[in-house]
Structure formats: structure tokens, C-alpha cells
Structure 1
Amino acid sequence: MNDERQATVRLVDELGASGKVRQIFDDIKATKGIDRVPALWRALATAPDELELVWTSLKARMHPEAVGRESNLDAKTREIIALAVSATNGCSYCVNSHTAALRKQGVDQETLGEIMGIVSLFNSTNALAEGYQVEPDVFPPLD
């Protein structure tokens, strides 16, 4: 690892990981079909129980087939939601990660632009509705 700072903690070296961290790192790579463990997971590995908690939750939601669960949302839709929330929250790490995942699924630049346009539109209209304190008058049906 170089001397350039990558996080507020020293990232766990992927090759030196052992025990629970090694198992989770291997699972991350296998589940995501990648050949290295991304920096976020290496940062979380400084607290192995937190790494396990976050990975278990993410795997169940973003890769449900890997835990034997069916989702009503396809993989692309799940990534679009993740990208939209990441952009809204201002997380450049997550925006890049979910954009890369969408590009891997065949989403082109024009489609990414359309996604970002919708994100921008609803960030704006949400702020307007909240700023005007408009009371809801359109409701979903109750099942």
C-alpha cells in the first residue's frame, strides 16, 4: 500500500486478511464477480463484526439470489436505486461503485444521464414540496 491516504483508517490488506475477514473478502469477490476487494470493504474490515453486519445486509438486498431469496426487483433496478440514493447523499465513492456496476450490466452513458436527470428532478420537486409544506393529497391504495 502506498503512503497516500485512502481513508481515516488504515485499510486492511486483502492478501494479509485472515479468519472471518478472509472469509468475507472471499465471499465479496465471489458474489460480486470481482477480482479484488474494494476499499470500502477493506476499511470496514478494521471492525470485523461491522464488516460482517454490513456485508450480510448488502448481500441479502443487492444479491438476493446468493442467499437463496427472490427479489421483486431485478439487479439493474436495485443498482439504479443505489445510484440514485448515493447521488442524493453526495457519496462519490458509492456513485462510482454503482455506476461501474450499471456499466457492467450494459447501461450506457445516455441512460446514466437519464437516471441522473430523474434524480435531479425529484430532489428538486421534493425540496419544493417540503419548502412549501404541501400536505399529501394523493395516496396509494391500502391492500
Structure 2
Amino acid sequence: MSLVPVLADDEMSAEAREVIDDIRATRQTDFINNFWRVLANDPAALKRTWESLREVMGPGMIDPLTKEMIYVAVSIANGCEYCIRSHTAAARKRGMSEAQLMELQSVVAMASETNRMAVGLQVPVDDVFKVASPAAASSDD
């Protein structure tokens, strides 16, 4: 159960409704999920979160399916059932197959295991992995 109300459209402030209307227009759907409806209790947080999500998940160097799969992987690592389910649904809409989902689960599980082993054993990072980024290496500073 949510800590704050899951607001219906007619229960939202004008500021929240403006953001919700933008979500509908951007996504070309009438469906507004519970995440946005809960955030509508704080119109500033709703607006800030929507603007950031729209920018990060929008067009860029990483294709939309890969972005959704990364979101699923991080959501699994963070234990967020809501985000696992909503972004798995989004990834499926973007073409993720069941085989890809199962492979993603395997990668997340393996990364979690080896991360814990490296942390628990305090494995020192190899110098070769500590190289500067190409942009930093070419800086005139």
C-alpha cells in the first residue's frame, strides 16, 4: 500500500495535471501508471522526475530497448518490484524476447555474485583498469 494516495486525475492539482497531460501526450496514451499518480502528490517532484526521465530515456547514443534493459537490470539490483515490472513491460513493447529477458536475468545474477565476491575479498583494482577516459587523456589541463 502506498504511503500517500494514488491520485485520480480529478484529485490532482493544476500543476500536477499539466505534467500528467504532458506524459500522456509524449507517450501517446491515456494510461497513467501508479508511479506518476503517487508522485502527483508533490507536483515539483513529479515535474522534476518526468523531465529527467524523458531526457534520459529519450533519443541518444543507446537504443531504446537497451535503455529499458539497463533499467530492468538496475531495478533488479535495487530490488524495486514496481520498476522491474514496468520496465520489463516497456522492454517487451520495444521487442525484448523471453530469451533476452532470461539472458538479462543471468547477467544480473552473475554480476551480483562477482561484485559481492570482489567486495568481500577486497580485490585490488588492476592498474590497467584505472586508465583515464579518452576525453580526459586528450585534455590540455
Please classify the TM superposition score into its range, dividing by the shorter chain length. 0.7 to 0.9
Report SS of the residue matched to 1:36: coil
TM-score (norm: length of structure 2): 0.86
Name structure 2 gaps, 5 residues minimum: 135-141
Work out the percentage of aligned pairs sharing the same amino acid: 39
The aligned counterpart of 1:114 is: 103
Given the alignment of the two structures, is residue 133 of structure 1 paired with residue 119 of structure 2, yes or no?
A: no
Which amino acid in 1 is paired with 2:122?
Q
1:15 and 1:100 mapped to 2: Cα distance? 27
Q: Which consecutive segments of 4 or more residues in structure 1 shift more than 4 A?
A: none
TM-score (norm: length of structure 1): 0.85
Report SS of the residue matched to 1:43: helix
- Root-mean-square deviation (CA, aligned residues, Å) is 1.5
Contact 1:14 1:37 in 2 (8 A): no
Given the alignment of the two structures, is residue 14 of structure 1 paired with residue 3 of structure 2, yes or no?
A: no
* 1:104-142: CA deviation from partner (whole Å, max 9, x where unpaired): 112121110001110111011111111100011041453
Q: Give 1 or 2: higher helix fraction.
A: 2
Given the alignment of the two structures, is residue 52 of structure 1 paired with residue 47 of structure 2, yes or no?
A: yes
- Higher Rg of the two aligned structures: 2
Name structure 1 gaps, 5 residues minimum: 1-5, 66-70
Given the alignment of the two structures, is residue 87 of structure 1 paired with residue 84 of structure 2, yes or no?
A: no
Aligned pair count reads 132
